[in-house]
Amino acid sequence: MPSLCVIGLCCVRCGLRQAQDFTGYTCPDCGDEGILDVEYDYGRARQQLSADLLAREMRRDIWRYGALLPASPPEPWPGLPVGDTPLFRAARLGTYLGLDHLLVKHDGLLPTGSLKDRASAVAIAQALERGKDIVAGASTGNAASSLAGLAAAAGLRAVIFVPESAPAPKLAQLRTYGALVVAVRGTYDEAFDLCLAATRRFGWYSRNTAYNPVLSEGKKTVAFEVCEGLRWRPPDWIAVSVGDGCILGGVGKGLRDLKELGLISRLPRLLGVQAEGSAAIYNAFLDGARTAEPVRPDTLADSISVGQPRDARKALAAIRDTCGQMIAVSDEAIIEGGHLLGGLAGVFAEPAASTALAGVLAARHEGEIRPGDTVVVLVTGNGLKDPQTTALSTSEPLSVPPDEGALDTVLSALASG
């Protein structure tokens, strides 16, 4: 078990530092605005995480990068293994996009079907370290089902706040995992605030995006896996869909960590992609701002339907640090992106995940991404999470009676039509 290399936590708003044993969530001076960033002793981490040591490491889950994570996993790790998702070339999809090197990192294949498992795994480890029995979180759906699934496996009780409008499959997942589900008759943002108030009152462990600083640390492991999978030759671009901005900020943090350790020599550029109807971070990027103004969210991609992004500062910093770009795409483009991932790569992605691909398509049209660039698209969630929306405007099945003659008639009509 690698020793912890955390040296403290730093407020992204005012820079105030907390000691490594701080058990609060946000900066005492700035309150909920004062999201913390975990800081590491990179000199120490370097001794535990070299390319050689990693090549010999048998552990495949995210804890292979334990020296750069803010909690230690209990031994043995209880339940669901998180990490080690496939990174593969999508040649046909690349050809369609005019890209020679397009890769997909498929986090829809994590145990509960979304990238959120990376964050929940670290949260569960920390909750266990702190002796908590109850973990709580608010979510558009994926963070909730992720926390509930991992909590079930680890024997913790999960209390989940979701907007009542969350897609039915996500709610079904939560209920099956045995979580206590509070369906809030309001938006995600309102569910979030209610959950924060309840966790404070009852002393539950809080898995609230951004508010809890270890979540973006878990999410950064996807950047570690991408770079290790490419044998430490980083891609030119990593495309990430953006709601609260926690994944984007986490990926940026992971890349900076790797550069500090000397495992990569340059940073890939991040392409942050938002839905036009929920584009608070994109708007801030255009304005050159360091934080985002709330919007009224309106998009079919429920996982990124966020009015008040909680991790805008880290997300915007990640774009700045990597000379990245932000782009906003329409719901039509998001649905089309899902059909392209499905039809040309065999990847079934929920709308919030196909948003990243829609962004790559737009960035190709604008000439921002060039044909020879190596591009990694993060598929953040599985299409089974919201199959109805994912399959919008696909063609209807052919309806036939169980009869060969009738099938012939229908097929010939299709061939001639």
Ligand X SMILES: *Cc1c(COP(=O)(O)O)cnc(C)c1O
Residues that bind ligand X (CB under 6 A): 114, 116, 142, 209, 241-248, 303-304, 350, 352-353, 380-381
Q: Residue 407 CB, nearest distance to ligand X (Å)?
A: 38
* CA-wise closest residue to 222 among 103, 374, 93, 98: 103
Q: Residue 348 CB, nearest distance to ligand X (Å)?
A: 12
Contact 195, 137 (CB under 8 A): yes
Q: Beta strands of 219-322 (E only): which ranges?
A: 237-241, 269-275
Q: Name which of 298 and 408 has its Cβ closer to ligand X.
A: 298
Q: Residue 224 CB, nearest distance to ligand X (Å)?
A: 17
Q: Residue 48 CB, nearest distance to ligand X (Å)?
A: 27
Q: Residue 2 CB, nearest distance to ligand X (Å)?
A: 26
Residue 56, CB half-sphere, CA atoms under 13 Å: how many? 5
Phi, psi of 136 (to 5 degrees): -135, 155
Amino acid at position 320, single letter: R
Q: Name which of 66 and 297 has its Cβ closer to ligand X.
A: 297
Q: Name which of 5 and 284 has its Cβ closer to ligand X.
A: 284
* CA-wise closest residue to 226 among 246, 253, 254: 254
Q: Name which of 116 and 313 has its Cβ closer to ligand X.
A: 116
Q: Name which of 70 and 245 has its Cβ closer to ligand X.
A: 245
Residue with tokens 């991932």: 341
* CA-wise closest residue to 338 among 317, 316, 357: 357
Amino acid at position 72, single letter: S
How far apart, in whole angstroms, are the C-alpha atoms of residue 100 and residue 374?
Answer: 7
Q: Residue 18 CB, nearest distance to ligand X (Å)?
A: 23
Q: Name which of 127 and 270 has its Cβ closer to ligand X.
A: 270
C-alpha separations of 286 from 128, 324, 325 in Å: 41, 12, 10
Residue nearest to ligand X (CB): 381
Residue with tokens 């209390």: 159
